């Protein structure tokens, strides 16, 4: 199957998914009330209208990227109506509304009233959170949390949202401070030590250091790098980038990083015991490699860029059927791997990586299921019984279609939808 044939098939699937996601009411009849069932007995709902992940706002991104203004508006209206007052995050609530609304703007004045009300509220909430965290650091209280700093819930995601408006400085200043070493139990450790466990509903234990792009220090690294490239350069920013990269490279072993490093493991130091993981956006070598590449581009460090490309090559060299890839989604599936490989290949000008992009696109195309309501089905391991019919961004059909659309057109996103993943 030639590149042209795969791109044509990808474009056809994108059009079909968009058609199936055209009616918000029809989508809601399938998604509302869906729950996941986990081994610990919890049954969280999967659909939240005012969310990017599995909600109206994530689907609005797809229609906006495709230039379907009426469909994008229909989803935005539903998502905005459901947004609750409060701080929110890039992936839920008012900040998510702002992100999706900006993506839908096609001419000056579009959504000016909504953005004029929402953006100041988002800035104020982000600034307050940054002040609280800087006060914590200044007071010498170690231990951050995902909700404070990460991409999905914290100030890395909010900072990326605010970067294009000239109001990201408080978030960036906080992330710089977060990289300063702290003292925990008499030991000096990196300031991004997370006091809670990596997974919900599990004992906090000794806390950990998280490496993933979604919840780990790779997210702040990506934002610090992108901000630097965009001209936001604060005192200590380059040193902060250096600290994160140095630590990440210490834990790199044979092309792989651990997902997390426990407190006592950090004290012992790298031991070469890391095993290859599933290559993914949320946790995995490709997401971290993209953050490393962005840092190399920002500070003009060819060796960092070379390491990032080498890590991706090692992942691609492993038998793909051994990747433990069980769905096509952006978060930890084939579409995420497709999009990250395409971006890294483009910025590295690497022909061999571009060759792999076609193969990854074939994998995504091969996951299309005409019998599924939205064209793709979601799956999970570890004994979880998940709702398979997901329409949204991170785990659902809209995100998969966005990655396929980028591949089919072989160009940057018109709406900047992948900035929500800190990939650009």
- Which residues, including other chains, have CB under 8 Å from residue 343's CB and lie 6 or more apart? 290, 418, 423, 424
Secondary structure of residue 8 in the 3-state scheme: helix
Q: Which two tokens stand for residue 86?
A: 């409060």
pLDDT of 424 reads 94
Q: Are 293 and 309 in contact (CB under 8 A)?
A: yes
pLDDT of 381 reads 67
The CA-based diameter of the chain, rounded to the nearest angstrom, is 60
- Which residues, including other chains, have CB under 8 Å from residue 248's CB and lie 6 or more apart? 211, 217, 218, 221, 257, 288, 292
The rounded distance, in Å, linking the Cα atoms of 247 and 190 is 9
**Residue set of the binding site for Zn(2+):** 282, 331-332
The rounded distance, in Å, linking the Cα atoms of 219 and 423 is 9
Return the DSSP state at 384.
Answer: -
Please, what is the angle between helix 351-366 and helix 334-348, to 10°? 160
Q: Are 256 and 276 in contact (CB under 8 A)?
A: yes
| Cα dist from 280 to 276, 318, 330, 366, whole Å | 12, 14, 8, 18
* DSSP code string of 43-95: --B---TTBSSSSHHHHHHHHHHTT-HHHHHHHHHHHHHHPPSS--BTTBSHH
Number of neighbours of residue 168 by Cβ within 10 angstroms: 26
pLDDT of 1 reads 63
List the one residue out of 233, 216, 215 whose CA is nearest residue 224. 233
Secondary structure of residue 22 in the 3-state scheme: coil
Q: Which two tokens stand for residue 418?
A: 């992948």
List the one residue out of 65, 59, 52 whose CA is nearest residue 94. 52
- Which residues, including other chains, have CB under 8 Å from residue 47's CB and lie 6 or more apart? 28, 31, 32, 33, 34, 54, 55, 392
Query: pLDDT tens, position by position, for the chain (424 residues)?
Result: 677 899 999 999 999 999 999 999 999 999 998 888 878 778 889 999 999 999 999 999 999 999 999 999 999 999 999 988 777 999 999 999 999 999 999 999 999 999 999 999 999 999 999 999 999 999 999 999 999 999 999 999 999 999 988 899 999 999 999 999 999 989 999 999 999 988 877 777 899 999 999 999 999 999 999 999 999 999 999 999 999 999 999 999 999 999 999 999 999 999 877 787 889 999 999 999 999 999 999 999 999 999 999 999 999 999 999 998 989 999 999 999 999 999 999 999 888 898 999 999 999 999 999 999 999 999 876 667 889 999 999 999 999 999 999 999 998 999 999 999 999 9
Kind plus residue range of the DSSP H or E element containing 189 = strand 187-189
**Residue set of the binding site:** 282, 331-332
Q: Are 291 and 238 in contact (CB under 8 A)?
A: no
Q: Are 377 and 366 in contact (CB under 8 A)?
A: no
Please, what is the angle between helix 169-178 and helix 237-251, to 10°? 50
The rounded distance, in Å, linking the Cα atoms of 402 and 18 is 10
Q: Which two tokens stand for residue 232?
A: 């936001």
């Amino acid at each position: 199957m030639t590149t042209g044939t795969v791109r044509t098939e990808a474009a056809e699937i994108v059009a079909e998914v968009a058609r199936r996601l055209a009616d918000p009411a029809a989508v809601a009849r399938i998604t509302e009330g869906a729950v996941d069932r986990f081994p610990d007995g919890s049954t969280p709902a999967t659909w939240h209208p005012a969310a990017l992940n599995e909600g109206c706002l994530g689907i609005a991104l797809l229609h906006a990227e495709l230039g379907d203004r009426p469909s994008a508006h229909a989803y935005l209206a539903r998502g905005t109506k459901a947004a609750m007052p409060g701080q929110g995050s890039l992936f839920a609530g008012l900040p998510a509304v702002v992100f999706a609304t900006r993506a839908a703007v096609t001419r000056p004045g579009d959504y000016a009233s909504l953005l004029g009300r929402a953006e100041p509220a988002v800035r104020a909430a982000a600034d307050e959170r940054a002040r609280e965290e800087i006060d914590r650091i200044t007071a010498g209280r170690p231990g951050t949390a995902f909700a404070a700093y990460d991409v999905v819930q914290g100030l890395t995601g909010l900072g990326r949202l605010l970067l294009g408006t000239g109001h990201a400085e408080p978030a960036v200043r906080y992330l710089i401070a977060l990289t300063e070493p702290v003292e925990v139990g008499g030991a000096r450790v990196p300031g991004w030590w997370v006091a809670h466990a990596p997974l919900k509903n599990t004992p906090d234990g000794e806390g950990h250091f998280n490496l993933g792009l979604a919840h780990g220090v790779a997210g702040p690294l990506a934002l610090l790098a992108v901000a630097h490239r965009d001209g936001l350069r604060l005192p200590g920013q380059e040193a902060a980038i250096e600290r994160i990269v140095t630590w990440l490279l210490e834990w790199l072993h044979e092309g792989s990083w651990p997902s997390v490093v426990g407190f006592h493991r950090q004290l012992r130091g790298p031991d070469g015991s890391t095993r290859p993981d599933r290559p993914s956006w949320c946790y995995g070598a490709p997401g971290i490699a993209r953050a490393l590449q962005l840092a190399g581009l920002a500070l003009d460090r060819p060796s960092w860029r070379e390491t990032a490309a080498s890590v991706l090559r090692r992942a691609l060299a492993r038998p793909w059927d051994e990747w433990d890839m069980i769905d096509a989604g952006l978060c930890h599936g084939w579409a995420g791997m497709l999009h990250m490989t395409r971006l890294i290949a483009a910025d590295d000008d690497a022909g061999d990586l571009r060759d792999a992009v076609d193969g990854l696109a074939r994998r995504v195309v091969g996951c299309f299921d005409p019998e599924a309501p939205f064209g793709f089905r979601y799956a999970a391991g570890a004994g979880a019984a998940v709702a398979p019919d997901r329409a949204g961004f991170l785990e659902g059909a809209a995100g998969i279609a966005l990655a396929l659309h980028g591949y089919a057109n072989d160009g940057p996103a018109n709406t900047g939808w992948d900035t929500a993943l800190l990939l650009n």
